[in-house]
Chains A and B, each alone.
Chain A
């Protein structure tokens, strides 16, 4: 009789184990569309002492996950985030600089074309007004682009501020999840931790690693620790008093560390790179171009005379320095008010002499821009360098997408839920449960008969 009771116990354990399998398969199917979910498997262990005792018992559910692969996937995700955000931001700058109206190089070409026409009709009021109109268009175009680049910089700073807040929030959640894992070891908490780490890597490009104690550390590029176990630092953005740009600091208790220059990946790294490299270069190039245009045309204009025979006047307001030249660029106010002052004649020459107009025209083909380029060439280089950056960024996006796709396939191969497979598992566990129920019922009947005979 004691053997029959053992068999009842064996059957009951087996039903419990198969039910665990049913529950895990059901949970897998339920999470088939949950992002970052890793499928689980029941760990069935045979008990010692068969055939009279023994049987089966379900261990803790096994979470199918490869930490190394997960790390590689996070790194690839950070790189993809960086290249995608960088590509979008550079495309936006390209639109601001090269689209929406004529480009600066087109406006320079238009001005040169007007000077060409002036060589044929230097005293014609209509031609002079048309030339001034082109000059005004050029200055407006350059000022508008300076304003656009300024707006792009402000938007990048706003994004950096918002992302820093998001990162601090995620870091705090990662610390809490580490604590939850330390306390319970819940596989779902592991998935949640992986998701948060993935989001942090997407944002910062930092590295998440799981140490021997099972706790995840998240370290930013450059070595600043953002999360260590259940201790999370904050990423704080502050406004630089000199530049007005956002700077980033990791704040852990009383310790503050500037990490602005260290974050070179993730979408935050993209914002920083766009702001500090692409926009900064475009602004410098535009300022230099505005300075070169004003200075070179002014030099030619001063040497020649207007219809009143007076020389020494500027064509554009002369900037005192390169920085800010684009924002302040304007046609000289006196000339703007009186087209007859346009210096188309040589100093001391007759009004119909077009030497001044030819000198102003010659500026367009002279290598007066920085780097020994023509003004039109420098303007075109500015636009094309942004185009090249956008084009290269697109290639980076394509490359990172392929890498991420491949790694995602590998992860899915290991950790992804397959409905057909889980339905088969459900059927297997269901059959096993039914069989064990019949087994228990048979033993129960035997026990009943035995008790009746006693």
Chain B
């Protein structure tokens, strides 16, 4: 086949241009660390990576929701701890007040202490989240659930938080756990009754509260156990999400990122090939120059 000088130069310059494109592409991979920057680079890898990114976004949103719920439960646990401690102290005061060694004046002082503990417990029971929701109000979360007498006006609903688009875990407890509706006693009104019995020096009424107080301590303890259980589930969910996020990050990385060593090696190879191509072109041009 007859090959003209011009054709040889065309082929050589074409090869040099192609080499330059390859070097530019290799350099871009090295600098960005990405093999796929747009769908057409590798449609399958792009789709796979984007699906993983989409999944990761949902998991991250769910993790934030679960963490918020965990914080809420921690607040509730703190509130229940306050109520539980108050109940224990009130029970001790009630036992003391029920003793014949104390007189009416002593019981009046005890009544004051019980009222202080009741106020603290009421404040704890009406605890609010940073977002302004009453955490022990059930789903009536924008209304104060416990009145000044300790009566409960919330509901028994609990809230499930989404761990994915299709699954959820229980993330709240209701204030009804502190009422007779849950099968126990009305905890806050019981405190109030103890205070009244002490203030009025009514030992007969006081003695009837002792069993209820024991039951209430147990009831609050049970509620805390439930809260603890829910917190554990949420913690496990966060851990599972972290593992899933890591796995999705790896998938994304595998699909669209380059192996830096391989990319650097490829850049070196393509650069060398370009250099050779340039040398050949310049030799060819010199060779074909008419003398």
Nearest-Cβ distance from residue A375 to partner chain B, whole angstroms: 11
Query: Would you call A420 and B7 a contact (CB within 8 A)?
Result: no
Closest to A353 in B: B139
B191 sits at the interface (CB 8 A): no
Closest to B135 in A: A352
Name which of B164-172, B212-220, B225-233 contacts chain A.
B164-172
Query: Would you call B165 and A361 a contact (CB within 8 A)?
Result: yes
Nearest-Cβ distance from residue A233 to partner chain B, whole angstroms: 36
Chain A facing B: main interface SS: helix
Nearest-Cβ distance from residue A439 to partner chain B, whole angstroms: 30
Nearest-Cβ distance from residue B106 to partner chain A, whole angstroms: 44
Q: Hey, what's the 0/1 contact readout for B77-112 against A, CB within 8 Å counting as 1?
A: 000000000000000000000000000000000000
Closest to A107 in B: B57
B181 sits at the interface (CB 8 A): no
Chain A residues with CB under 8 A of B69:
120
A113 to B165, CA, bound (A): 9
A112 to B54, CA, bound (A): 10
Nearest-Cβ distance from residue A387 to partner chain B, whole angstroms: 2
Q: Hey, what's the 0/1 contact readout for B108-149 against A, CB within 8 Å counting as 1?
A: 000000000000000000000101110001111110000000
Chain B residues with CB under 8 A of A414:
2
Q: Hey, what's the 0/1 contact readout for A405-430 against B, CB within 8 Å counting as 1?
A: 10001001110111111010000000
Chain B residues with CB under 8 A of A351:
139-142
Chain B residues with CB under 8 A of A278:
none
A12 to B132, CA, bound (A): 114
Name which of A284-292, A294-302, A376-384 contacts chain B.
A376-384
Query: Would you call A384 and B4 a contact (CB within 8 A)?
Result: no
How many of chain B's residues touch chain A, expressed as a range? 35 or more
Contact of B133 (CB < 8 Å), options: A124, A345, A365: A124
Query: Would you call B51 and A380 a contact (CB within 8 A)?
Result: yes
Given contacts A124-B132, A361-B165, A391-B40, contact A106 B290 (CB under 8 A): no
Query: Would you call B133 and A119 a contact (CB within 8 A)?
Result: no
Name which of B59-67, B193-201, B248-256, B270-278 contacts chain A.
B59-67
B46 sits at the interface (CB 8 A): yes
Q: Hey, what's the 0/1 contact readout for A86-122 against B, CB within 8 Å counting as 1?
A: 0000110011001100010110111011111111110
Nearest-Cβ distance from residue B128 to partner chain A, whole angstroms: 11
Nearest-Cβ distance from residue B37 to partner chain A, whole angstroms: 9
Chain B residues with CB under 8 A of A163:
none
Given contacts A117-B68, A358-B162, contact A123 B61 (CB under 8 A): no
A133 sits at the interface (CB 8 A): no
**B: which residues have CB within 8 A of A?**
1-7, 14, 38-43, 46-47, 50-51, 53-54, 57-58, 60-62, 64-66, 68-69, 72, 129, 131-133, 137-142, 155, 157, 159-162, 164-166, 168, 171, 288, 290
Please list 28 pairs of residues, one from A and one from B, whose beta carbons are closer than 8 Å in the complex, sorted by A's number: A91-B40, A105-B54, A106-B57, A112-B165, A116-B61, A116-B162, A119-B65, A120-B69, A121-B133, A124-B133, A127-B131, A349-B139, A352-B139, A352-B157, A353-B157, A354-B161, A361-B162, A365-B165, A365-B166, A384-B39, A384-B47, A388-B39, A412-B4, A413-B3, A414-B2, A416-B4, A418-B4, A420-B5
> Which 8 residue pairs across A and B have the least CB separation, nearest first?
A387-B39, A113-B61, A352-B141, A365-B165, A390-B40, A124-B131, A350-B139, A120-B65
**A: which residues have CB within 8 A of B?**
32-33, 90-91, 94-95, 98-99, 103, 105-106, 108-110, 112-121, 123-124, 126-127, 307, 345, 349-354, 358, 361-362, 364-365, 376, 380, 383-384, 386-388, 390-391, 394, 405, 409, 412-414, 416-421, 423
